[in-house]
Chain A
């Protein structure tokens, strides 16, 4: 059904390369953080924070609405795939109201995919949940379809050279995560430049 699976350790090993590929091309701070442990494997994330244009509050506003996005790129062992957790606030730090947060994601998804307004059932894939290690409330996109996508990406990159069913090639893992981020990052206004996937 799906290609070779990412494991948490493969994800952890790919993070430094992911950081290197992104930090040269994106102008905001990024860092690797260890947020907990799963058995004897550290739970690691790539964390970043950036300002993007938010959905226009109303047509009469002349100033662009800015949204502060705090983004954690982590890994879900249950789904064996990367997962995004994020906080959305006004530039002064006040969290966006739930309806504004939903609008922000909806507008980003629609402008990326060209889907007509109202057709996307955001409620079924966007939730505010406690971060699995940090405990604080953050938004997440349900990973239920992501595992399938990652499987296709890892298949395409021939990342399972030893036939074990697991991705062991760090370069392949980093590229798979980068491809996933290029797609899913758009939901929070993150534009990953194409140059990030070049050597």
Chain B
């Protein structure tokens, strides 16, 4: 039976307004974008919009080398949409989120380029493989055939939770050796620090590993009080990592956590973007 938190995570959407600053006469494109989805999945729609309204042919270099910007910085579009929103500094922008379309000066040293020779689908699979390598030494993902790999991608692309979940369940069940997670911190200068390390579901004494434990493992010399948030929701530090992973992992099978100094209450803004987590849920 579908888990209601997992379903809420899947259904979370962000209203986005795509604008073309180089031609203000072009009307914006509004879209409700899944938080767990990826911006490059919208490239065809954006190109069609530019073709129709800006006279930019879909096969032209401008359309082919299209990229996206928010608050003056390239959007690192290999990351899920919701994570990008939650990372915006100093706080998540008002909704609808205004995102700029750029057709020139693709930042080749900063952005992964997605296209026919480097598909978003194969990048998604690369992430799934790494997650399964951590959990199951890649046994489960390698036992699945190409058909099931495709089903995971098509389920995500077409917003089909059931189609996705029936395969994803195999990746999410059973004993995990290490849990796949990443901790992100947006720097003031626009840089992004990404932390990943090996974390088992349990401590040495077999009790569940908590998010506090995780921070101690990942950032051994860090002393300041912080919060960890995902899908726009701050998590209590005593949350077991395994529980958080099971309920809140993205479709790429990673738990993406945003680290914030705890005096900053940015998770409280943009309420309509945040999922309301049932605080009475049992761990």
A residues apposed to B, CB below 8 Å: 38-40, 76-79, 95, 98-99, 101-102, 123-124, 127-130, 132-133, 135-137, 142-144, 147
Contacts and interface: CB of A to CB of B under 8 A. Distances in A.
Given A38-B197, A78-B134, A129 B126 contact: yes
A38 B115 CA distance: 32
A142 B130 CA distance: 9
Among B129, B130, B142, B180, chain A packs the most CB atoms within 10 A around the CB of: B130
Interface stretch (B104-112, B244-252, B265-273): B104-112
Contacts of B197: 38-39, 77
20 contacts: A38-B196, A39-B217, A39-B220, A40-B220, A78-B130, A78-B133, A79-B138, A98-B113, A98-B116, A99-B116, A123-B122, A127-B123, A128-B112, A129-B78, A129-B123, A130-B78, A130-B112, A132-B196, A137-B108, A142-B129
Contacts of A147: 133, 137-138
Contact of B133 (A79, A101, A123, A132): A79
Query: Which secondary structure dominates chain A's binding surface?
Result: mixed
A39 B214 CA distance: 10
A38 B108 CA distance: 27
A165 to B, nearest CB: 13
Interface of B: 76, 78, 108-113, 115-119, 122-123, 125-126, 129-131, 133-134, 137-138, 141-142, 178, 180, 191-192, 194, 196-198, 217-218, 220
A12 to B, nearest CB: 15
Nearest to B182: A132
Contacts of B217: 39
Given A40-B220, A77-B197, A127-B118, 9 more contacts: A39-B197, A39-B220, A98-B117, A98-B118, A127-B126, A128-B118, A135-B194, A142-B129, A147-B137
Contacts of B78: 129-130
A40 to B, nearest CB: 5
B108 A39 contact: no
Contacts of A98: 113, 115-118
Nearest to B178: A78
B76 A130 contact: yes
Contacts of A78: 130-131, 133-134, 178, 180
Nearest to A135: B192
Contacts of B130: 76, 78-79
A60 B115 CA distance: 29
Given A124-B122, A136-B110, A101 B117 contact: yes
Contacts of B117: 98-99, 101-102, 123
B198 A137 contact: no
Contacts of A135: 76, 110, 191-192, 194
Nearest to B216: A39
A79 B198 CA distance: 11
Q: Specify which of A76, A99, A144 lies most central, judged by the most chain B CB atoms within 10 Å of its CB.
A: A144
A147 to B, nearest CB: 7
A132 B194 CA distance: 8
A77 B194 contact: no
Nearest to A121: B146
B242 to A, nearest CB: 18
Given A128-B112, A129-B112, A137-B113, A144 B142 contact: yes
A39 B109 contact: no
A5 B137 CA distance: 12
Contacts of B194: 132-133, 135
A128 B138 CA distance: 21
A135 B189 CA distance: 15
A47 to B, nearest CB: 16
Contacts of B220: 39-40
Nearest to A137: B112
Nearest to B110: A136
Contacts of A95: 108
Contacts of B112: 128-130, 137
A191 to B, nearest CB: 25
A135 B182 CA distance: 13
Contacts of B110: 135-137
A144 B133 contact: yes
